[in-house]
Amino acid sequence: MPDKEVAERLKRSTHAVQMQRWLKGIPSFEQREREWTPGEIALLGTASDADIARRLGRTHSSVNNRRRRLGIPKFFPTP
């Protein structure tokens, strides 16, 4: 359930709900990470992180972090 809806039901501010969620380590409803498919992982390192992010509809930082966590080297185009 989105923070705004929780806040309305509890008659609290959205900020108060967000802070309690953050303090308890509960991820945001809106920001749950999408699982990576084998096909998406196979693309990492084959083009710039920004290009792959655009193709996959993911953020640049998400692509960069996943590539680095998996130990996949950064893409360098050949001249």
Q: At what angle do helices 60-69 and 49-56 cross, to 10 degrees?
A: 110
Distance separating alpha carbons of residues 16 and 55, to the nearest angstrom: 36
| Residue 79 CB neighbours (<10 A) | 3
Q: Which residues contact 34 (CB under 8 A, 6 or more apart)?
A: 58
Q: Which residues of the chain, if any, have pLDDT below 50?
A: none
Q: What is the pLDDT of residue 13?
A: 95
What single-letter DSSP state applies at residue 46? Answer: S
pTM of whole model > 0.75? no
